[in-house]
Amino acid sequence: MIYRALFDHGFSRTDPEKAHHAAFRAIRAARPVTAVRRTPGTPVRALGLTFPNVLGLAAGFDKNAVGIDGLAALGFGHVEVGTVTGEAQPGNPKPRLFRLPEDRAVVNRMGFNNDGAEVVAERLKARGRRPGPVLGVNIGKSKVVPEEEAVHDYVKSARLLAPYADYLVVNVSSPNTPGLRNLQAVEKLEPILTAVQGVAAGVPLLVKIAPDLADDDVLGVADLALAIGLDGIIATNTTISRAGLRTPDAKVEEVGAGGLSGRPLTDRSLDVLRLLRGRVGPDLTLIGVGGITTVADARARLDAGATLLQGYTAFIYEGPLWPRRIVQGVQA
């Protein structure tokens, strides 16, 4: 409650991207103190790995793999870094990150700003293997790479990053790279996934999909995952929809384009997860993400068939105690 009051009356008046960097610096600086705290929760076995608990931090917060251990010390059982692209890129022009407090939501059009696969791979190599969170690496297409060369771009990132990842995620669902979501079509997605499988050296591979896919397309991705032996699916990324928001239309229009995350995704992300579980059966790993804010949200996602959970936007709005609150709540 103290954090929420501080957020609503202080942090929310700060530029969102500047606030993110300031908060992340504080998390990294606090790591030596917080690292002695035991990770909460019950271990979960998935992807051939043992996750310290059910909740992870979704990709987008730590794009460049600079704060993995500090984030884990807050209670996350896994941390997914990225999205990392084959080529370094600055992302879209600023401002590109916006809060919608009335909806407990965020709009971003960051554009995969990151240091590039070569730099991130060297950073992970220097970090080395160590006890702690399960480490996921999320890879996406470089903006400068045309769609017809996307396979080679994903393969480059996978080859560089797979040696340091516990699992890899192919991101074809961000709305902020032109044409990226076209790659969710099964006929375009299959060659990317099979090529990445070929260089991932046994590292579990998942795909992250958008909530805006039609139900039939969701089922098509599920069928593809089974056909090629994919290890899992993450459902879902941000949405381009603005339906049902409490934020005034004028404010939404002023914010403009980008992916919407947070509470407005809760229902659709849950529906997509149910569709997937009903199609793939009980064994494939499904990671539920999108609009998980409360313990009830987390339990609903697990009841719908999620193997693991991820959050991001609620972490921004609810503060550093949120991960432990969710983990402890779902096992109560």
Annotated binding residues for FMN: 59-63, 83, 138, 171, 208, 236, 262, 291, 312-313
Bridge partners of residue 136, in order along the sequence: 80, 167
DSSP single-letter state for residue 265: G
Rounded CA separation 37/21 (Å): 24
User: Which residue among 174, 241, 261, 269 is the active-site one?
Assistant: 174
Residue 115 CA: distances (Å) to CA of 93, 163, 196, 318: 16, 18, 21, 28
Rounded CA separation 265/236 (Å): 9
Tokens of 193: 């996934």
Euclidean distance between the first and final Cα of the chain, in Å?
A: 21
Which residues fall in the annotated binding site for substrate? 63, 108-112, 171, 176, 237-238
Rounded CA separation 268/260 (Å): 12
Is 142 a known active-site residue?
A: no
Give the DSSP letter string of 58-85.
PTTSSTTSS-HHHHHTTT-SEEEEEEEE
Rounded CA separation 293/263 (Å): 7
Residues 6+ apart with CB under 8 A from 285: 46, 47, 204, 206, 231, 232, 233, 307, 308
Tokens of 216: 């039939």
Rounded CA separation 160/117 (Å): 7
Q: Report the candidate in 173, 144, 183 with the shortest Cα–Cα distance to residue 259.
A: 173
Q: At what angle do helices 150-161 and 186-199 cross, to 10 degrees?
A: 30
**Residues carrying an active site annotation:** 174
